[in-house]
Amino acid sequence: MQTKKLNDGVEIPVYGFGTFQIPADGSTYKAVREALDLGIRHIDTAVAYFNEQEVGQAIRESGIPREEIFVTSKLWLQDYGYEPAKKGIETSLRKLGLDYMDLYLIHQPYGDVPGAWKAMEDAKKEGKIRSIGVSNMTVKIWNNFIPQFDTMPSVNQIEFNPYCQRKEMRKIMADAGVALEAWGPLGQGNKDMLADPVIVKIAEAHGKDVGQIILRFEHQEGAIIFPKSTNPKRIKSNMEIFDFELSEEEMNAIRALDTGKGCFDHDAPGVAEFLISNFDVHVNA
């Protein structure tokens, strides 16, 4: 599997497996084991996904050496600030059953983000985290928080797909040497995007399905991608994007599909209050 070197020297697989909205009823364990068995070596989870325990169990029981698997998790809002973040990091490590995480992210950038970031920097120095980054940062949020950090994030995990291309944010990140991680790489089932005639035509020309064209586009744009599925056939087919290449003409045709909007506006008023009131990660912690 191809890797990309982050700005701190850590190598990250450019293709991974996401676990958002996969329930912790055995489904996450089964899906992660399937992904690992198929050769995926990058698993993305978060405390707010409530499935870290099954992710960790699948990794530990896979028989694959720990150093060969890249594991990402994320800190949630209730644990922002220096001391809460230190506890949050320890909780994630305990739930995963791992000695360290390869990447740890600020999940939603609201509240005492600088305090949480300092705790993550210290955890990195202590070897508990190999690389640290942020998620869901818009241009406005980036310009507010990043100047307060002592170190530059290694990644910003943001919504990115043909209909939501985040061009201004990506330019800022590229100039800062910060890698793009794409959540919602398939538009979270956006029916319009999955039936878009431009993408369908390109898929037909390559003998690929629409999902594979979308993922290939994102890969060629330099994004680190980790589509999720609980269907073994779909997990396998999503991986089949490295045996063809989109032409510049095809890339430009997909670039032209950008709507300038995503499915979630992180700059909207009341977002932080909504998120913290609807997701309590301390339940059953």
Catalytic residue positions? 49
CA gap 184, 226 in Å, rounded: 9
Q: Using alpha carbons, select from 175, 157, 163 the residue that is nearest to residue 224.
A: 157
Which helix (H) or strand (E) segment holds residue 27: the answer is helix 27-37
Contact 192, 261 (CB under 8 A): no
Helix (H) or strand (E) holding 86: helix 82-96
Tell me the three state secondary structure of residue 239.
helix
Residues in contact with 258: Cβ distance below 8 Å, sequence separation at least 6, in sequence order: 162, 163, 164, 165, 167
Element (H, E) at 155: strand 155-159
- Packing angle, helices 197-206 and 210-220, rounded to 10: 90
Structure letter (DSSP) for residue 178 = P
